[in-house]
Amino acid sequence: MKESPFVYGSTVSSKSFTNREKEAEKLYQNLTQGINTTIISPRRWGKSSLVEKVINDINQKEKTFKTVIIDLFSVACEEEFLEVFAREVIKSSSSKWEDWVKTGKNFFKQLIPLISLGIDPTSDFSLSFNWEELKKHKDEILNLPDTIAIKKNIRFIICLDEFQNIAAFPGYDILEKKMRANWQRHKNVTYCIYGSKRHMMTDIFNNASKPFYRFGDMMMLQKISTENWIKFIVESFAATDKTIQESDAEYIPALMKDHSWYVQQLAHYTWQKTEKNAEKEVIIEALKELIYANTPFYQKEIETISTTQLNLLKAIIKGESQFTSTLVMQKYKLGTPRNVSKNKAILTKNDMIHEVDGKYELLDPAFELWFSKHYFNQDYVNL
């Protein structure tokens, strides 16, 4: 049996990657022309996949660039960030581990890195510092890519994923000023910084009183269009000896509101359940399975919010928009107008809701379906 053409849960950059031609072209141009770029979108819309794809393209076509992608999602403190940053920059500067050791030894003036190599040095190379020393000489780490680039006559593209994660560290404001002051001067290094917490990312990069204001070009990544998803689904079925009619395929992005991860997940379940031709009924079965699989997450989500926040979600799902009108406040038990505005802010900050053209929407389309069923006993679909 053929493998499913649909992928969710990990980034997609070659197989299963669709669309994004314009965004990819722009990012490619920016990064190869020295324009720092920030990318912001809700999670699971496709930032990491887009960057991975563009970096792969650059690696294939441009030999003068050394590229590195650093995911800051699980980095726990500033010192760890600086260590990871130094290690990954060194590793990307050459394909030979002997060079890494040389670079580690030769490129620091104040800091003395501790290097250790495992049985297979290529996969087992570590570099650490005395953390007290590290704190005193942050600039040396932050400048490392430019220092290496000048000496070795190379250029770097450094991608920092889930960047907002480091903004929560104690002392971030000092680090932030240092990053900006140093990175801005780097002539041989281009930065691509992206993250999912839109609230935090926007505050870091689009606030005139913050150091990173106007650091570079800012891309607000949008969803992939419905037409594109339909084409992608029909073609992917065909390529794996199954079929789906356009008029059925369109239910998948419609149900999942073009949300990248969920469109792929629903398409995957549908594909799996299909022997030869996917019918509407199969999509409904697949949808039930998808919601069932995600239910534990949704239940957890609900547990983290207060009753008035939950009620506000109900009002939003029911299409209300005048949340502070007496009628709506009473009907949904939203509390006081102050509660309403506070809860709106909290749910927005948590990325549960967002404002589109002056109207609030839930960000997670499958959560919305589950919620409607759970609280209003509403069917998932009326096809």
| Distance in Å, CB of 218 to ligand ADP, minimum | 15
Q: Kindly tell me which of 44 and 186 has the beta carbon lying closer to Mg ion.
A: 44
**Which residues are within 8 A (CB) of 285 and not within 5 positions of it... i.e. 6 or more apart?**
273
Spell out, one character per residue from 83 to 122, where the chain touches ligand ADP: x when CB under 6 A holds, - when not.
----------------------------------------
| Distance in Å, CB of 52 to ligand ADP, minimum | 7
| Distance in Å, CB of 270 to Mg ion, minimum | 24
Using CB under 6 A as the binding rule, the residues of this chain from 169 to 228 that contact ligand ADP are 196
DSSP secondary structure letter of residue 208: T
| Distance in Å, CB of 366 to ligand ADP, minimum | 13
Using CB under 6 A as the binding rule, the residues of this chain from 293 to 332 that contact ligand ADP are none
Rounded Cα distance between 311 and 313, Å, is 5
Q: Kindly tell me which of 39 and 278 has the beta carbon lying closer to ligand ADP.
A: 39
Interaction between residue 20 and ligand ADP (CB under 6 A):
yes
Interaction between residue 55 and ligand ADP (CB under 6 A):
no
| Distance in Å, CB of 20 to ligand ADP, minimum | 5
CA-closest candidate to residue 82, choices 161, 123, 140, 122: 140
CA-closest candidate to residue 216, choices 39, 21, 24: 39
Binding-site partner at residue 165 among ligand ADP, Mg ion, none, CB < 5 to 8 Å by type: none
**Which residues are within 8 A (CB) of 327 and not within 5 positions of it... i.e. 6 or more apart?**
none
Helix, strand or coil for residue 219? strand
Interaction between residue 264 and ligand ADP (CB under 6 A):
yes
**Out of 40, 45, 201, 365, which residue is the one contacting ligand ADP (CB under 6 A)?**
45
Chain centre to alpha carbon of residue 80: 21
Return the range that interacts with Mg ion (CB under 5 A); candidates 48-56, 212-220, 258-266, 371-379: 48-56
Interaction between residue 65 and ligand ADP (CB under 6 A):
no
**Out of 48, 182, 188, 274, which residue is the one contacting Mg ion (CB under 5 A)?**
48
| Distance in Å, CB of 324 to ligand ADP, minimum | 33
| Distance in Å, CB of 328 to ligand ADP, minimum | 33
**Do the Cβ atoms of 335 and 293 come closer than 8 Å?**
no
Can you name the residues that pair with 359 across neighbouring β-strands? 356
CA-closest candidate to residue 189, choices 65, 312, 347, 298: 65
Binding-site partner at residue 237 among ligand ADP, Mg ion, none, CB < 5 to 8 Å by type: none
**Which residues are within 8 A (CB) of 48 and not within 5 positions of it... i.e. 6 or more apart?**
11, 71, 161, 194
Binding-site partner at residue 236 among ligand ADP, Mg ion, none, CB < 5 to 8 Å by type: none
Residue type, 11: T
Interaction between residue 38 and Mg ion (CB under 5 A):
no
Rounded Cα distance between 254 and 300, Å, is 26
In the numeric block, which tokens belong to residue 171?
């002392």
| Distance in Å, CB of 229 to ligand ADP, minimum | 8
Return the range that interacts with ligand ADP (CB under 6 A); candidates 15-23, 29-37, 93-101, 357-365: 15-23
Tokens 């404001």 found at: 173
**Out of 30, 36, 37, 47, which residue is the one contacting ligand ADP (CB under 6 A)?**
47
CA-closest candidate to residue 248, choices 222, 278, 289, 288: 278
Rounded Cα distance between 50 and 220, Å, is 13
**Out of 10, 126, 299, 325, which residue is the one contacting ligand ADP (CB under 6 A)?**
10
Taking CB positions, which residue lies at the least distance from ligand ADP? 46
**Out of 30, 32, 38, 49, which residue is the one contacting ligand ADP (CB under 6 A)?**
49
| Distance in Å, CB of 49 to ligand ADP, minimum | 3
Taking residue 180's Cβ as centre, other Cβ atoms within 10 Å add up to 17
Alpha helices in the chain (DSSP H): 21-32, 47-61, 78-92, 97-106, 131-136, 138-142, 144-152, 172-185, 198-205, 226-239, 246-249, 251-255, 260-273, 280-303, 307-317, 326-331, 337-349, 365-376
Binding footprint of ligand ADP on the chain (CB under 6 A): 7-12, 16-20, 41, 43-49, 196, 260-261, 264
